[in-house]
Amino acid sequence: MFRGYTVLKCEGIRVSFGGIHALRDVNFTAEYGNITALIGPNGAGKTTLLNVISGLISPDNGHVYFLGDDITDLPTYLRGQMGIVRTFQNLEIFHNMTVLENVLTGCHRHVKYTLLDSLLKTPDYWEGERFCLEYARNALEFVGLLDKRDMPAQDLPFGSQRLLELARALVAEPTLLLLDEPAAGLNLSETENLGKIIHRIRDEKKIPIVLVEHDMGLVMRLSDRVYVLNFGEVIAQGEPKEVQNNPEVIAAYLGEEGT
């Protein structure tokens, strides 16, 4: 794939909950080599769109295309097998497991051995385990947590737990990475470090990223393209500076002009 290649395309997405329109005819595109941000006020429909992309919600109307294939009706687990990997607003880690064990749970895409191989401890089983261990260590090194690999996950500071969740996503070798408010709860230095890691994911691993985030400074620093949702509709899209100066965006989300 080349930079600018369309990895994800959402066309005419509509979602309603009890008569309330969460998404109204939303068109959205994510491209290879880019970080594409979704911003908007609370309740604008950002997480709902991520849920549609990842298969947690079926749209009332519209289509989702991934690498040219229509995946609108595919279940979540099949999308995961295709490489659509997501983190969530609320931490989804196993607190009583070690840091390394947490990351290993994301290695399912690489496991080729069968249940019988696992029970009999066949050569295929041991080869698969070595493979997963190497991937997990590499992911932890990438986010700076390798030296914490044997710690219980619950003993990590909150900011490091955020990085742990990111490492678990990376070990699955995503074709598309969906990040839902990854900087939520982080302090300034943790947010700066997270931003550097996300940039490296794009630049070194060449993984396209869809980023939902409320930290506008982070969004404007990281993103190649920004979509703005308000009341379930896309009101603006473009490069960060272009969106930042859009009067409709200023009124809807970034604050009234002149305040």
Contacts of 236 (CB under 8 A, 6+ apart): 226, 227, 228, 243, 246, 248, 249
The pLDDT, as a whole number, for residue 107 is: 83
Domain 1-83+174-258 falls under CATH 3.30.565.10? no
Over residues 224-228, the mean pLDDT reads: 97
Q: Report whether pLDDT(83) > 70.
A: yes
Q: What is the pLDDT of residues 174-201, one digit of tens each?
A: 999 999 999 999 999 999 999 999 999 9
Better pLDDT: 237 or 118: 237
Rounded Cα distance between 210 and 208, Å, is 7
Sign of CA dihedral 181, 187, 191, 197: negative
User: What is the number of other CB atoms lying within 10 angstroms of the CB of residue 82?
Assistant: 17
What is the structure's pLDDT at 256?
Answer: 43
Measured between alpha carbons, how far is 2 from 218 in angstroms, rounded to an integer? 25
The pLDDT tens digits of the residues spanning 92-137 come to 899 999 999 999 998 876 677 667 766 778 877 767 678 889 999 9
The pLDDT, as a whole number, for residue 119 is: 78
pLDDT tens string 7-56: 999 999 999 998 899 999 999 999 999 999 999 988 899 999 999 999 99
What percent of the chain lies above the pLDDT cut of 90? 75
- The CA distance from 195 to 148, in Å, is 21
Tokens of 53: 């992309």
Return residue ranges of the chain for CATH 3.40.50.300.
1-83+174-258
- Whether the pLDDT of residue 259 is over 50: the answer is no
How much is the pTM? Answer: 0.89
Nearest residue to 137 via CA among 128, 129, 146, 147: 146
43 φψ region: left (φ > 0), alpha (ψ -120 to 50), beta (else): left
